[in-house]
């Protein structure tokens, strides 16, 4: 089976031959065209099969990524629950013994106090000088709808591309 590159080059050669001969096919050019027309659908079938495999592999990897993300979340939740249990045990230990630290040969555990900032969940309720502005991103979907509706936007255009579809 010819490579895609070879088929593309053969097509270019055939087109150049047709232009040079004023649109007339010689018997050898006709044989070359027949061979090309026979090989191209086989190549497209192969490309279609590879694309289907890529799509299936991508879906499998996305599902695996979701599974791993869910697993990581579950482990994080279990970690937080166990830390909560450890805090309860250390608080009980401190209450009974007056010591906030447990020391063993293989580890030590103690209660530490930390501070963090808490505020409204809505960022707009924070003072303006304490808000971090995110990097703005263009809303391409809205721009596309406006352009399709006939509106002109400076420096923004609809770009058409051609792609293959298989059924």
Alpha-carbon span 54 to 62, nearest angstrom: 12
The mean pLDDT value of the chain amounts to 88
Q: Mark out the alpha helices in 98-161 (DSSP H runs).
A: 140-148
Radius of gyration of the chain (CA): 33
pTM of the complete model beyond 0.75: no
Buried b (16+ CB within 10 A) or exposed e, 83-114: eeeeeeebeebeeeeeeeebeeeeeeeeeeee
pLDDT above 70 as % of the chain: 97
Which residue in the block uniquely carries the two structure tokens 């293959």? 164
| Residue 7 in this model has a pLDDT that exceeds 80 | yes
Query: What confidence score (pLDDT) does residue 164 get?
Result: 61
Summarised one tens digit per residue, pLDDT across range 110-155 is 988 888 878 888 888 887 877 777 767 888 999 999 999 999 888 8
């Amino acid at each position: 089976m010819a490579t895609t590159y070879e088929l593309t080059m053969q097509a270019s050669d055939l087109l150049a031959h047709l232009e040079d001969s004023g649109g007339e096919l010689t018997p050898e050019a006709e044989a070359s065209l027949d061979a090309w027309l026979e090989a191209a659908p086989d190549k497209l079938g192969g490309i279609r099969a590879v694309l289907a495999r890529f799509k299936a592999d991508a879906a499998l990897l996305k599902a695996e990524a979701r599974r791993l993300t869910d697993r990581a979340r579950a482990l994080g939740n279990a970690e937080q629950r166990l830390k909560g249990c450890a805090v309860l045990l250390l608080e009980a230990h401190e209450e009974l013994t007056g010591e906030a630290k447990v020391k063993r040969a293989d580890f030590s555990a103690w209660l530490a106090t930390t501070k963090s900032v808490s505020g409204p969940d809505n960022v707009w309720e924070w003072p303006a000088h304490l808000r971090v502005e995110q990097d703005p991103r263009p809303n391409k979907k809205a721009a596309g709808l406006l352009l399709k509706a006939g509106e002109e936007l400076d420096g923004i255009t609809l770009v058409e591309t051609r792609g293959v579809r298989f059924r």
